[in-house]
Amino acid sequence: MNKSKDDSILLTHILEHSFDEIFIADATGMVLYASQSTETVFGIPCEQIVNHNIFELEKQGLFSPSVIASVLRTNKEVTLIQETNHNRKLIISGYPVYDQSGIVIGATSFSRDITEFESLRKENEQVARALLKYQEENEKLREQATQPFFISNRKMEKVFEVVSKVADINITVLLEGESGVGKNHIGYKMHQMSSRKAEPFIEVNCGAIPESLFESELFGYEEGAFTGSKKGGKKGYFEIAGKGTLFLDEIGELPLNLQVKLLSVLQNQTFMRIGGTKKIEVNCRIICATNQNLEKMIKERKFREDLYYRINVIKVEIPPLRERKEEIIPLIYEITEQVNRKYQLNSYFTPTMAAWLSQQNWPGNVRELQNYIEKKIITSSGNEIDLDWGEEETKKDSFTQSTKEIPLNDYIETLEKEYIVRMYHKYPSSIKLAEILGISQSTANRKIQKYVEQR
């Protein structure tokens, strides 16, 4: 057997089966070997390369630059990424080849096609970016879900704590507070926070339904139950609420005889339609609300004590707005956004106006503030709604009187506080806040702590 011939066959076999495209050139740049796959990658047939000088080929622009030529010029290893005329992206490494005395006798280069790898990398980057975005959105949604109200007041923090704890527990909750403080609003938020959120939320104003209709409205009736009853009968609110939430507003307005009926339903967890014989199970969760002093009503024998204890498993007292003035500014911006959306406007209250509004007492609570804002927006001529000193200075508790002659630093801090609270309400994340306000995240965190959390 001819050993050197066999060695040559073995060497060619290895070269041809390598994953890389391989070039071998002598010290003058004459190409001695080029892999067969070179044509697919570079778009140049092997015959145009082998036995041609690499410096010439480079001059002709077939390789720009040629790694082999670079190696021979510098006698150093070279690695670069190159895009071929065939739109393939390659990572190419070239190495000088030395003889035993250390003289360069040629060069080799190994190219790996990374086109697919590159597009996968790009795709991967896109997926990573999209994932980050979803994570941010998810984080935002999670924050919103766990913090459904804007809370910047200790008393409201307590309200939120209790409400969040019991939102998904099937116990009757009694919400107490002056008219307009947001009892319905909180009742609905509780429903949204519960696993019943996809089911109906049915609001019943106990004070608005005539006594004679109350039973049929609440429990429904069977066909023919009374003259004028609908064909096929009618579902009552308990049935309509299904597995959702039944919000019994103004429970104190319920006449005594109906209080007995409601108590019986709550105790037995079943009811019957008027004229019906079948017991229907109560599946809904009950939330009651009142702006009356039920304990006083019990003493006056206007409200049944047994029903009171039944609905008062958990009592949540919602403070009036005047006891949580810190929340007025965020509310102003939230309500303004709602009104703007409703009328497709772009109105806004100046910080001075917002600060002034936050000093007022609002005896009608959030509802009064809401009506005021809506009226102001509708009746104002421009987008900006500023404090009209002439109109407002007669009112008590005015911002002018309390802050007109305060030190400049205090005034600036008041404005800064208002702005941070408003922006944090809109972007409840220190990263986003920092980005919007052009400040560092640590500054944003400090300001959130100072103005939002420490109150």
Ligand X SMILES: Nc1ncnc2c1ncn2[C@@H]1O[C@H](COP(=O)(O)OP(=O)(O)OP(=O)(O)O)[C@@H](O)[C@H]1O
Give residues in contact with ligand X (CB under 6 A).
Answer: 149, 177, 179-185, 249, 289, 291, 331, 334, 366-367, 370
Tell me whether residue 160 or residue 221 sits nearer to ligand X (CB atom).
160
Least Å distance, CB 343 to ligand X, is 16
**What is the C-alpha to C-alpha distance for residues 311 and 282, in angstroms, rounded to an integer?**
15
Rg (CA), the chain: 39
- 8 A C-beta contact, residue 320 and residue 368: no
Tell me whether residue 89 or residue 158 sits nearer to ligand X (CB atom).
158
Least Å distance, CB 321 to ligand X, is 9
Least Å distance, CB 390 to ligand X, is 29
83: number of Cβ within 10 Å: 12
Least Å distance, CB 356 to ligand X, is 20
Encode burial over 156-195: b for 16+ CB neighbours within 10 A, e otherwise. Answer: beebbeebbebbeeeebbbbbbbebbbbbbbbbbbbebbe
Closest C-alpha to 176, from 308, 294, 286: 294
Beta-strand runs (E) in 37-152: 78-83, 89-98, 104-113
Tell me whether residue 367 or residue 432 sits nearer to ligand X (CB atom).
367
Long-range contacts of 137-140, Cβ-Cβ distance < 8 Å, separation of 24 or more: 139/429, 140/428, 140/429
Tell me whether residue 202 or residue 366 sits nearer to ligand X (CB atom).
366
Least Å distance, CB 219 to ligand X, is 23
Cβ-based neighbours of 94, under 8 Å, separated by 6 or more: 67, 68, 70, 71, 77, 78, 79, 107, 108, 109, 110
Least Å distance, CB 370 to ligand X, is 5
- Estimate to the nearest angstrom the gap between the alpha carbon of 371 and the chain centroid: 28
Least Å distance, CB 249 to ligand X, is 5
Stated as kind and residue range, the H or E segment containing 310 is: helix 305-311
Encode burial over 201-213: b for 16+ CB neighbours within 10 A, e otherwise. Answer: bbbbebeebeeee
Tell me whether residue 143 or residue 435 sits nearer to ligand X (CB atom).
143
First to last CA, the chain: 94
Least Å distance, CB 290 to ligand X, is 8
Tell me whether residue 107 or residue 156 sits nearer to ligand X (CB atom).
156
Tell me whether residue 148 or residue 244 sits nearer to ligand X (CB atom).
148
Stated as kind and residue range, the H or E segment containing 348 is: strand 348-349
Three-state DSSP class for 356?
helix
Tell me whether residue 153 or residue 179 sits nearer to ligand X (CB atom).
179
Tell me whether residue 21 or residue 249 sits nearer to ligand X (CB atom).
249
Least Å distance, CB 369 to ligand X, is 8
286: number of Cβ within 10 Å: 23
Residue number with the shortest CB distance to ligand X?
A: 182
Tell me whether residue 208 or residue 213 sits nearer to ligand X (CB atom).
208
Least Å distance, CB 241 to ligand X, is 18
Greatest distance between any 2 Cα atoms in the chain: 121
Least Å distance, CB 209 to ligand X, is 14
Encode burial over 64-78: b for 16+ CB neighbours within 10 A, e otherwise. Answer: eebbbbbbbeeeeeb
Three-state DSSP class for 30?
strand
- 8 A C-beta contact, residue 188 and residue 201: yes
Tell me whether residue 247 or residue 399 sits nearer to ligand X (CB atom).
247
Q: What is the DSSP letter of 319?
A: P
Q: Could you give the angle at the alpha carbon of 400 between the alpha carbons of 396 and 406, nearest 5°?
A: 130
